[in-house]
């Protein structure tokens, strides 16, 4: 019979009779641990300080007005019909980004993602722009991210894993 009784423990987890050492960690170890933790927390907080971005709607951005100049933000919406103007000689793209709270003039210089301006069912794909609002009220985008529509969204997770990175990525622009 090849069945084993559960009570027959072939490899004992711990040798019986030898109580495991349960000593308090030394003071040195505790200090080192706390120091390491502090370094880690410091790393995280300094990095957060320089890389956080607010996600706003067009209306929220406009409501902030001057308070939001020169702060990096992310705004989602859809390029308005017929608003996309691209100047091939300077590689500059202008369009108006619209959501249900208003619309925003956007200017962008760089590689335009393949899917930007791709129309389906009579309207453009949703897009997210990252950048800053200029004092003249125009949004200077450093990055355009195209959201996939429902049929693409249904697409397999991993397959599209990097698809979103296809926009001119942060690497190309300085933040």
Partner 1 sequence: MTFADSASVALGLAIALAAYGSAAAIVGYFRLLPELRRSAEHAALAVAALVTYAALVLFGLLLTHQFGVAFVAEVSSRTMSTRAVLSAFWGGQAGSLLLRTWVLTLFCAAVVLVHRRRDRELLPVAMASLCVIEFFFLLVLLVSADPFTRLPSPPADGQGLNPLLQDEAMSFHPPLLLTGYMAFAMPLAIAVSGLVTGQMGISWLRALRRWTLVAWTIQGCGLLAGAWWAYHVLGWGGYWGWDPVENVALLPWLVATALLHSLMVQERRGMLRVWNVTLVASAFCLAIFGMFVVGSGVITSVHAFATSSVGPLFFGFLSVSMLGLVALVAYRLPVLRATGQFDALASRESAFLFNNLLLVAVVVATLWGTIFPMVSEVVRGVKMGVGPSFYQQVNAPLLLALVLLMGIGPLLAWRRTSLSSLRRLLTAPVLTALVVWSGLILLGMRQGLAALAFAACALTAVAIGVEYSRGVRARQRGGERLLQAIATLVVRDRRRYGGYLVHLAIVLIGLGIVGSTFQTTSEVSLTAGQPTQVGRYTLTFAGVQPYQGAGYQGVMAGLVVGAGNRQIGALFPDRRVYVHWENQPVTGVAILTSRPWLDDVYVLMTGLADDGTATFRVFVNPLVSLIWAGGFLFLIGGVILFWPPKRARPAWRAVQSGKAIHSEA
The span from the CA of 171 to the CA of 150, in Å, is 28
Q: Which stretch binds partner 1 (CB under 8 A): 62-70, 77-85, 96-104, 125-133?
A: 125-133
Q: Are the beta carbons of 114 and 167 closer than 8 angstroms? A: no
Q: Is 160 exposed, middle or buried (0-12, 13-18, 19+ CB in 10 A)?
A: middle
Question: Under the criterion CB under 8 A, does residue 158 sit at the interface with partner 1?
Answer: yes
In whole angstroms, the minimum distance from the beta carbon of 66 to partner 1 comes to 19
Q: Does 120 bind partner 1 (CB under 8 A)?
A: yes
Ranges within 38-97 binding partner 1 (CB under 8 A): 40, 43-44, 46-48, 50-56, 72, 74, 88-89, 91
Structure tokens at 156: 């397999």
Size of the site for partner 1 (CB under 8 A): 76
* Residue 27 binding partner 1, by CB under 8 A: no
Q: Which two tokens stand for residue 111?
A: 């590689």
User: CA-CA distance, 172 to 104, in Å (whole number)?
Assistant: 24
Out of 2, 27, 66, 122, point to the residue binding partner 1 (CB under 8 A): 2
Minimum distance, C-beta of residue 102 to partner 1, in the bound complex (Å): 17
* Nearest distance from C-beta of residue 151 to partner 1, angstroms: 7
Q: Which is nearer to partner 1, 136 or 143 (CB)?
A: 143
> Going by C-beta distance under 8 Å and a sequence separation of 6 or more, which residues neighbour residue 141?
106, 107, 108, 129, 130, 131
């Amino acid at each position: 019979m090849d069945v084993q009784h559960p009570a027959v423990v072939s490899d004992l987890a711990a040798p019986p009779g030898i109580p495991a050492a349960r000593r308090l960690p030394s003071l040195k170890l505790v200090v080192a641990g706390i120091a390491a933790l502090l370094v880690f927390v410091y790393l995280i907080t300094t990095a957060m300080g320089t890389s956080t971005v607010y996600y706003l709607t067009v209306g929220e951005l406009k409501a902030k007005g001057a308070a939001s100049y020169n702060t990096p933000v992310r705004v989602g919406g859809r390029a308005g019909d017929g608003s996309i103007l691209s100047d091939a000689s300077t590689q500059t793209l202008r369009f108006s980004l619209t959501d249900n709270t208003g619309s925003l003039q956007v200017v962008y210089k760089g590689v335009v993602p393949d899917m930007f301006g791709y129309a389906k069912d009579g309207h453009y794909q949703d897009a997210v722009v990252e950048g800053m609002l200029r004092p003249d009220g125009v949004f200077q985008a450093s990055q355009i991210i195209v959201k996939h529509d429902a049929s693409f969204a249904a697409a397999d997770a991993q397959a599209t894993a990097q698809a979103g990175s296809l926009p001119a990525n942060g690497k190309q622009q300085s933040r």
